Structure 1
Amino acid sequence: MDTTPALRIGAVNYLNSKPLIHRFDSLAEELATAHPELAGVRLLCDLPSRLADSLAAERLDLALAPAFEALAEPSWRIVSDACVAADGPVSSVKVYFRKPPAEVESLALDEGSRTSAALCRLLLRQRHAAEPRRERLPIGASLTDTRADAVLLIGDRAMHAPDPAVRGDFVAEWDLAEEWRRDTGLPFVFAVWTSRHEEVAPAVVRLLEACRDGGVVCFDSIAAAEGPPLGLTVEHAERYLRRNLRFTLGPRERRGLELFERACREAGLLSDPATTHDA
């Protein structure tokens, strides 16, 4: 009897990741008939930052991890060309400023964020030599729950425009992927399939890429199922998936990821525990 533990794979429970796990269970079951290593594989969804923690704690074997975490941990490896990236405005990673960016002294960072937190800090440092005091913005909190000079929101909640009653409190807004592309001319990679194991079975990679390949031709049905529960119209959700996101780690995405790693290392962010854990 095979007593090999079932694989534990973690994914982000955001709209932007749904195409990467499209039909995961059924595809895993189909592939398991020829690849026993996929038998009983489990998909667990959580916040990006918590997935990285679970991978580090060996509660997961593989995860759609924040790109920043994949770069920060030397023993982890990127195992697939399926990813979450943007080549221009992403719409779901935004910074709202109560003061001009050059004058920001305090920054509230979305609890679910690590890659975006690092990118925000990097842009503020590169553009304005700013290193604002940081605080954590809990999941479920809104722009009005903090008086920080700047507030980073990621994921589904960032796709909703601020309430008109508070919109006037903010003097500027950054879409972080758009700002990155403006500065570099390259896409920004937010998340990658990452393993803590040296070797990953080819069947696992095949599963991940089969999910992605099926997902990117089903934006309409994914949007219909996932958009309304998030308070988004089907049209808005489909437009977001189709126009704002990229799901393949191609040559330009790899160059963007390499540049982000180099910039973070030069800025000391990858060696700074406060980048992630003290947010």
Structure 2
Amino acid sequence: MLRFGAVSYLNTKPLVETLDQRLSDWGTLRLDLPSRLAADLAGGELDIALIPSVEYFRNQSRYQIVSDAAIACRGPVWSVRLLSRVPISDIQTLALDEGSRTSAAMSQVLLSEMHHIRPETVPFPIGSDASDVDADAVLMIGDRAMHPPRETYREIWDLGDRWVRWTELPFVFAMWVARRDVCTNPDQLKRIEETLSASRDDGMQCLEKIAIREAASQGLTNEDLHRYFAENLHFYLGPGERSGLKLFREKATAIGLAPPPPAVSGNNA
């Protein structure tokens, strides 16, 4: 039985809608936090996992992308925002949401590239309120970013929108990867690829149903959540997404937030 792991966040729902059923006789699925999934994949406790792109960069010599299903955006993403109390170019301290290392790196890449600044970073703990954080700007992800802040900010960036405008490329937040030892059997690899893509396709066919089921617990309307799935997120890892992933790797490496890519052959971004 292969061991699959996926992020237990709202944006993952369309990718795993039918995955449990599709794995019924040959795999198991566990939902968990990104940091735990990354640690368990690296430690051999999982075989395949949907992990943040930065975590893939850190272990790329040991990992292989195994599906064209992913969590990406091609414009405003809504659930990843930078909120600044000062003009962007004046930011000296940046509070980073502890829920995502990828969005943290993305925000710092954009500030470095667009405004040539490298603010001091401080933690923005999960469960805390932005008004309690002493920093010029705050990175918010997930439901915290999707609800209007009570505080007034000088500038608010949707980081998906900023990335796409700056690079003219999509941004990839997470993708399915496996340890390379899991990918040695071509038939098994093909089954993994087809199953993950089919589960994504199933989810795309029932976005409205997922939105109705999940909206109330997120404090969102059915319509808003359906729009988030259908318009703000993109669930396909195509050539444009791979180009965006490669550029993100290069820029994150340039400012010390990711290691250089390894010199290996195979199916790598």
Common fold by TM > 0.5: yes
CA offset at residue 259 of structure 1? 1.2
CA offset at residue 199 of structure 1? 3.5
Partner of residue 61 from structure 1, selected from 47, 54, 74: 47
Partner of residue 222 from structure 1, selected from 210, 214, 217: 210
- What's the counterpart of residue 85 of structure 2? 98
| Distance change in 2, residues 1:55/1:145 (3 Å) | farther
Deviations 1:139-188 (A, max 9, x none): 2122123121111111232211112xx2x2x1111111110011111110
CA offset at residue 233 of structure 1? 0.8
Give the Cα–Cα distance (whole angstroms) in 1 for the partners of residues 123 and 80 of structure 2. Answer: 16
Q: Is the 8 A contact 1:91 1:159 kept in 2?
A: yes
Give the Cα–Cα distance (whole angstroms) in 2 for the partners of residues 55 and 133 of structure 1. Answer: 31
- What's the counterpart of residue 150 of structure 1? 137
| Distance change in 2, residues 1:56/1:86 (3 Å) | same
Give the Cα–Cα distance (whole angstroms) in 1 for the partners of residues 74 and 207 of structure 2. Answer: 18
Give unpaired runs (5+ residues) of structure 1: 1-5, 33-37, 273-279
**What TM-score comes out, normalization by structure 1 length?**
0.87
Q: Is the 8 A contact 2:47 2:182 kept in 1?
A: no
Deviations 1:120-156 (A, max 9, x none): 1111111222111112222212212312111111123
Q: Does 1:268 align with 2:260?
A: no
| Distance change in 2, residues 1:65/1:171 (3 Å) | same
Q: Is the 8 A contact 1:50 1:112 kept in 2?
A: no
Q: For 1:90, what is the secondary structure of its paired residue?
A: coil
Give the Cα–Cα distance (whole angstroms) in 2 for the partners of residues 47 and 156 of structure 1. Answer: 15
Q: Is the 8 A contact 2:14 2:204 kept in 1?
A: yes
- What's the counterpart of residue 244 of structure 1? 232
Partner of residue 190 from structure 1, selected from 148, 159, 173: 173
Letter of the 1:266 counterpart = A
Letter of the 1:24 counterpart = L
Letter of the 1:58 counterpart = G
Q: Is the 8 A contact 1:181 1:187 kept in 2?
A: yes
Give the Cα–Cα distance (whole angstroms) in 1 for the partners of residues 222 and 145 of structure 2. Answer: 17
Q: Is the 8 A contact 1:61 1:197 kept in 2?
A: no
**What TM-score comes out, normalization by structure 2 length?**
0.90
Q: For 1:99, what is the secondary structure of its paired residue?
A: coil
Letter of the 2:214 counterpart = E
**Identity across aligned pairs (percent)?**
46
Q: Does 1:26 align with 2:12?
A: no
- What's the counterpart of residue 121 of structure 1? 108
Partner of residue 12 from structure 1, selected from 7, 10, 34: 7
The worse-fitting range, judged by mean Cα deviation, of 82-91 and 44-53 is 44-53
Q: For 2:110, what is the secondary structure of its paired residue?
A: helix
- What's the counterpart of residue 195 of structure 2? 207
- What's the counterpart of residue 276 of structure 1? none
Q: For 1:252, what is the secondary structure of its paired residue?
A: helix
Pairwise CA RMSD: 1.5
Give unpaired runs (5+ residues) of structure 2: 261-269
